[in-house]
Amino acid sequence: MPVRIWRTPLDIEKVKRPKAEIHIIKDQCKGCGFCIQFCPKDVLEESEEINERGVHPPRVVDESRCVLCGFCTSICPDFAIFVVEKQCKKEC
Amino acid sequence: MAKKDRTVLTGVHFMNGDVACAEGAMAAGCRFFAGYPITPATEIAERMARRMIEFGGIFVQMEDELASMAAIIGASWAGAKSMTATSGPGFSLMQENIGLAVMTETPCVVVDIMRGAPSTGQPTEGAQQDVMQSKWGSHGDYEIIALAPASVQEMFDLTIECFNLAETYRAPTFLLADGFTGHLWERVVIPRPEEIKTVDRKKPSVPPDKYMPFKPDEDLVPPMACFGEGYYVHVTGLTHDMRGYPKTVDPKIQYELVQRLCGKIRKNADKIVRTYEFMLEDAEVAVVAYGIPSRASVSAVKRAREAGIRAGLLRLVTVWPFPEKQVEELSNRVKLMVVPEMNCGQVVREVERIAKETPVHFIPKIGGEPHTPSEIFEVIRRTAKA
Amino acid sequence: MTATQKFDTHSLAKYLRVERFPHIWCEGCGNGIILNCFVNALDDLGININELVVVSGIGCMGRVAGYIKCDSFHTTHGRPIALASGIKLANPKLTIAVISGDGDLFAIGGNHFIHAARRNVDMTVICSNNFNYGMTGGQFGPTTPLDSYTTTTPYGNIEHPFNLVHLAAAAGAVYVARWTVLHVKRLTESIKKALQKKGFKFIEVVSPCPEIYGRRNKLGKAVDTMKQYREISEIRHGYDPSKAKITSEKIIVGEFVDTEKPTYGELLQRQFIKVQERLTGG
């Protein structure tokens, strides 16, 4: 059951939502579509370009939507996509 | 691991051949035995079940011989000297993984106490019907090492030698004993542990990032890094390159690999082959024998000498690689050769092939009774006259 | 977003033999996901890779041994469990993972599976169940559903399939779980739990075979099979494995068995101490 927050958390100023950095190793992708299909935030879509294998690798629609769930990283059978937390020195 | 040393049973014993083999293995450093009961090799497993634990080693009775062979390969890669023991029917089951041991260059010892064959055959009668199978039983071209003991003392000594050869050449090594030698009771002298010479596998002399698991040294044998030593070795039964990675469609890699797997035994045959000569210096008739028939041959040769025939015996201690040089040299010196075997013709084919012009007379005997000295003497007498 | 061409920048690349990639598995094959979850589990646990050995058999999943950067053995068909028993008993410090396919582990390897489970030899067995023999072109196997089409059942399969989790539980495994390759997080957690537990652990992973089994049985593309898993799978921890048969309407997943039992190695060690005490007379 999702938790409903009915008031603003007291530490909302201190806690920063981590920013995502999505890496796509285009020529490693075999075009299965798992990452695109199962991303909970619809961050990815099939790109127009064709990679070395003759398939369309994914492309990022909106990186800011990514919540770093890591599902794409784990569901990719070809290690062609992974997401890491963006390391920022200051607010980014 | 052992607190009290009840390990090597130094002293003089009256022992069964199978038991002597087990004791020899443990004295050689064997610390892993996986087997399955089969007449006439069950006593080896039973002895191991009782004694291995005293050495701090492992005895496992596996669910079948296929598993036994697989388990000893695994144990060898984990660093242990490992062995299994079986007879004909189990030996047939092990062939697949014997091929794996050859391909992955795994040192291990397989004892085959041969019994009447084919199939279930005569479980309680000895034979020598698996000799060709030990060399050709698994699919493909390969070489192995096989020793044939002819006494209970040799069941002890040659088992130790099997381990040493397996470790030196990284190949499965076979102890081919006939069922009689396996169940014979004789005097055995077991030396002190420090008098027993053991050999351990070559270890890599370079760090992991420079090591290639299947890159051979001068002697065509690669040093062996085991699992758990930080070398991250990948081992496969597929044709592989020197890193151990499968490379199955390159003819050059297959050729080089198979040539080397065979070559490391053939090239070192002089160091591996052992034979024993009895009264051969001026012999005109040579008996070529191995295992129990060689003992009857000794009596037959003595009797022949008394009858004025210059007979002698070449006893093959090593059966594979076949002692080609020794047999060839002998065939050039003598007028005829006699080969007694407890099968329908196995080693005799090798002798015929090598002896070429020299006539070879074969004395087969199957059914469970070893050759008697009279039988061999009669053939010597009859053929020497002709 | 960074579009990088270099595989060795992947966060898990250090566990893989990157020079051997891309791997041989088809587009949409679940084996790649199983490999992914496995190395993810290794990473999360911080396992000492020097003490890890991966043993696999023949088949598509069997190729996994060549892709993980650790000591690994790609054995003959059906024998990884027997070989792994030898490795573990000879060097108990090592952590053993047997990763192989349904045919390798349960047809030719069936005997070794049930006995290793019965003995409770300490190892983790991960079975990629794609319902056919993929590598040789798609023949039926012990988990192929009734009426399915494969090259050796051109008129439909007339053999009843195994219920693998039931078999594993009945044979005595101390941890039995089933997941599909869609359940990546749960599968990773399951693998982590299994690697840390003592005894014979079994994880069945239901996996698509889109190019062969899927195509021949008109199951659509891999992503369609995955959507189907989402529809029909149901997580029921502690469910009775004998009732958890896989059907086209329902795949029950979860952890079915999680118990403790002395392992073969532990019992052997206890026996060794007893024998030594008797020999030293005290």
**Separation of first and last alpha carbons in chain A:** 32
CA gap B7, B162 in Å, rounded: 20
C39 lies within 8 A of chain B by CB: no
> Which segments of chain B does DSSP mark as H helices, in order?
17-28, 42-51, 65-77, 88-103, 131-136, 152-169, 179-183, 251-266, 269-272, 292-306, 324-333, 347-355, 373-385
The whole-number average pLDDT for the span C156-175 is 96
Q: Does residue C38 contact residue C52 with C-beta atoms inside 8 Å?
A: no
B40 phi and psi angles, rounded to 5 deg: -100, 35
The set of residues, in sequence order, having a beta carbon less than 8 Å from that of B297 and lying 6+ positions away, is B287, B289, B313, B315, B340, B371, B373, B376
Percent of chain C with pLDDT over 70: 98
Helix, strand, or coil (residue C8): helix
Identify the helix (H) or strand (E) that includes residue C117.
helix C110-119
Strand-pair category, C95-101 with C52-56 = parallel
Work out the pLDDT band at A13, boundaries 50, 70, 90: confident
The model's pLDDT over B59-87, given as tens digits with 9 standing for 90+, comes to 999 999 999 999 999 999 999 999 999 99
C86 with B73: Cβ contact below 8 A: yes
CA distance C82 to chain B (A): 5
Contacts of B2 in chain C (CB under 8 A): 276
Taking CB atoms and an 8 Å cut-off, how many pairs form between chains B and C? 144
pLDDT at B247 exceeding the cut of 90: yes
Which of A23, A30, A76 lies at the smallest CB-CB distance from C36?
A76
Cis peptide before C161 (omega within 30 of 0): no
CA gap B371, B279 in Å, rounded: 20
Say which CATH topology domain A20-85 has: Alpha-Beta Plaits (3.30.70)
Work out the pLDDT band at A10, boundaries 50, 70, 90: confident
pLDDT at A91 exceeding the cut of 80: no
CA distances for B94 relative to B68, B114, B177, B315, B338, angstroms: 8, 14, 17, 28, 33
* pTM of the model as a whole: 0.92
Work out the pLDDT band at A1, boundaries 50, 70, 90: low
A77 with C32: Cβ contact below 8 A: yes
CA distance B1 to chain C (A): 10
Each domain of chain B, given as residue ranges in start order, spans: 11-195, 276-385
The set of residues, in sequence order, having a beta carbon less than 8 Å from that of B105 and lying 6+ positions away, is B170, B171, B214, B221, B222, B224, B261
Q: Does residue C131 contact residue C102 with C-beta atoms inside 8 Å?
A: yes
Which of A22, A26, A82 lies at the smallest CB-CB distance from C10?
A82
Give the residue carrying structure tokens 């199955």: B248
CA distances for B192 relative to A35, B8, B24, B29, B138, angstroms: 67, 7, 12, 14, 38
Identity of the amino acid at C45 = L
B80 with C91: Cβ contact below 8 A: yes
CA gap B237, B209 in Å, rounded: 23
Contacts of C68 in chain A (CB under 8 A): none
Which of C72, C89, C94 lies at the smallest CB-CB distance from B228?
C94
Domain that holds residue C119: 3-279
- Classify domain B11-195 at the CATH class level: alpha beta
Q: What CATH number should be reported for the domain holding residue C65?
A: 3.40.50.970
pLDDT at A14: 85
The model's pLDDT over A30-77, given as tens digits with 9 standing for 90+, comes to 999 999 999 999 999 999 999 989 999 999 999 999 999 999 999 999
Q: Which of C86, C14, C6 is nearest to C47 (CA)?
A: C14
A25 with C7: Cβ contact below 8 A: yes
Which residues between 82 and 101 in chain B have a beta carbon less than 8 angstroms from any beta carbon of chain C?
Answer: 82, 96-97, 99-100
Work out the pLDDT band at B197, boundaries 50, 70, 90: very high
Q: Which of B377, B231, B210, B254 is nearest to B308 (CA)?
A: B377
pLDDT at B1 exceeding the cut of 80: no
CA gap C77, C61 in Å, rounded: 12
The set of residues, in sequence order, having a beta carbon less than 8 Å from that of B57 and lying 6+ positions away, is B26, B30, B31, B32, B33, B80
pLDDT at A92 exceeding the cut of 70: no
Helix, strand, or coil (residue C40): helix
Q: Is A42 left (phi over 0), alpha (psi -120 to 50) or beta?
A: left
Strand-pair category, A20-24 with B122-126 = unpaired
C269 lies within 8 A of chain B by CB: no
- Which CATH number is associated with domain B276-385? 3.40.50.920
Work out the pLDDT band at C5, boundaries 50, 70, 90: low
pLDDT at A3 exceeding the cut of 80: no
Domain tally, chain C = 1
Each domain of chain A, given as residue ranges in start order, spans: 20-85
Q: Which of A5-19, A29-43, B74-88, C89-103 has the lowest mean pLDDT?
A: A5-19
The model's pLDDT over B143-191, given as tens digits with 9 standing for 90+, comes to 999 999 999 999 999 999 999 999 999 999 999 999 999 999 999 999 9
CA gap C229, C251 in Å, rounded: 8
pLDDT at C2: 60
Work out the pLDDT band at B3, boundaries 50, 70, 90: very low
CA gap C26, C217 in Å, rounded: 17
